[in-house]
Amino acid sequence: MSEPIPSVPETAPPAPERRPIPVSRRLAPRRLFSLGVAGLVAVLAYYSLTSTSGEPLHLYLGLLIFVGASAPALLWAKRGDYRFPVFEVFMLTGVNTYAIPLLSGHRHLVHFSADDVTVAAMGVLLFQVVANIVYAATPARARTTRLWTSEVIARNVATYLEYGMLVSAAYTAVTEFTDWIPREIEGVLRAVCFGVGIMATFILSRLWGQGLLRRGQKNAFLALLIVQILLSWTSLYLISGMSMMVLAFLGYVTGSHRLPLLAMALSLPVVGALHTGKTAMRAIYWEGGASKPTLTQLPAFFSEWLGHSFESETPEQVEQTSRLLERTSLMHILCLVVTYTPERQPFLEGATYRYVPGQFVPRFLWPEKPFSHIATNTLSIYYGLQDEAATAKTTIAFGLLSEAYANYGMFGLALVGAVFAFCFKKISGWAARSPLLSYPGLFLIVLMAWSFQSELTLAAWLSSLYQACVAVLGVPFVVRNLLGR
């Protein structure tokens, strides 16, 4: 007779069910790392053979900047880390803003001496080296208190997030095609709707990467994402739609450790084609005074846009298409600042950073508060790129590194690298065990979305981040505490 099975005390918790991790999921980080290394080697070989940079030294510096920008992301993939690569994405923006313009011989770099371009490239490398060292050396232990580990949104969040994307798309449609929203509340409403859209886009794409969305949810998410991107492009500015696209790609990659190759293969040619025809469309709708399309005219509007892209392959269009990535270049701006500072213009000694504290004061408490791009406009006027009247119509991107050099030179570049690396490491480390739907998890989503906003100065970067956080963290707070969900 067999021995009786010992009883289990009622207070003992049931043993957690351990599900084996699929082989494909275990191998995904290794494959992503291998693909990334192969891509990096191929790109370095390509530019080594075809680079049009004027000086051999600039070629080597450009290759080093490319490696310095890519290395953190490759290490993240190699570790198989499913945490948010906030710092890694922040560093990766150096590829298109500094490395590629230097390697491809950006047309504006010819206006600067070889020595100034060398100093600017060395400054970018200094920033990268300091940032990587500080990030690796900064300790950050995961927080486990209730604030850091409790979820604030229901687990069946996919349905609510689809509504969030619908709200964001509806807001985009209203702002682009009507004047219904009063100017007094436009800023607040934009922050709330775009903040909800950022949160919904990233979480749904990450859930897709983790295999947690049903087919119907995937279709709904994809349809809403495409609609929002197309609606934003009716303004003939591509940057907002491209930002949503990049955010969706990041969510999928962080959830699956795989690249959405099919989506990238379909979307990038479309973006390139629209970029090619953008100048002709702006000439018609901005300068020619053509009326803006209505919602029912959107198919004809985009057909016209694509028609201008393919109707004639003039040398100017070929040049525009080949330089699509260079439109995000900040290298020539950094060279400009290096050329003028401090020989012609003294260092600003922190003048643009003094605008930062005021950005956190609500405008209803300070009606005369300087707008978020005040630092950018100050730099544009200081270096003779614009006068005060021109800054009201156009904003010239300077970026964090050019602003840092304008204030403190090489020390400023090292300081920016150290501060951002330290903050990113601390925040991501503290939230390492935080659920995606907790306040720290939601904050990391916003922080990742802002990590590739490389064209902003510090005041604009922090101001927009602050507004997005109020929206993204405030909506769950209201839903949970006032609506009881």
Is residue 186 assigned to a domain? yes
* Model pLDDT, residue 12: 40
With a pLDDT cut of 70, the percent of the chain lying above it is 86
Is residue 228 assigned to a domain? yes
The total number of structural domains that make up the chain: 1
Mean pLDDT of 96-117: 89
Which one is predicted more confidently, 25 or 123? 123
Q: Give the tens place of pLDDT for each residue, 277-298.
A: 888 888 888 877 788 888 888 8
Average pLDDT over all residues of the chain:
83
* Model pLDDT, residue 292: 83
Cis previous bond, 342, omega within 30:
yes
Q: Give the tens place of pLDDT for each residue, 431-442.
A: 988 888 888 988
Select from 90, 20, 10 the least CA-distant residue to 450: 90
Q: Give yes or no for residue 129 having a pLDDT over 60.
A: yes
Is residue 309 assigned to a domain? yes
Least confident of 30-44, 239-253, 301-315, 335-349: 301-315
Q: ∠ at Cα 311 (308, 316), nearest 5°?
A: 75
- Rounded Cα distance, 281 and 450, in Å: 29
In this structure, the dihedral spanned by the alpha carbons of residues 405, 410, 415 and 420, taken in order and rounded to 10 degrees, is 60
- Rounded Cα distance, 448 and 442, in Å: 10
Is residue 415 assigned to a domain? no
Is residue 221 assigned to a domain? yes
Q: Give yes or no for residue 238 having a pLDDT over 90.
A: no
- Rounded Cα distance, 189 and 182, in Å: 10
Q: Give the tens place of pLDDT for each residue, 168-182.
A: 888 888 888 888 887
Mean pLDDT of 92-107: 89
Report which listed range, 42-51, 98-107, 118-127, 207-216, is most confident: 118-127
Is residue 379 assigned to a domain? no
Q: Which domain holds residue 157?
A: 153-327
Q: Give yes or no for residue 3 having a pLDDT over 50.
A: no
- Rounded Cα distance, 13 and 11, in Å: 6
Is residue 461 assigned to a domain? no
* Model pLDDT, residue 335: 94
Predicted confidence band at 240 (pLDDT cuts at 50, 70, 90)? confident
- Rounded Cα distance, 85 and 29, in Å: 13
Mean pLDDT of 27-40: 86
Predicted confidence band at 121 (pLDDT cuts at 50, 70, 90)? very high
Q: Give yes or no for residue 417 having a pLDDT over 50.
A: yes
Report which listed range, 10-14, 201-205, 325-329, 470-474, is most confident: 201-205
Is residue 271 assigned to a domain? yes
The alpha helices in 341-438, defined as continuous H runs, are: 374-382, 388-391, 399-408, 410-430
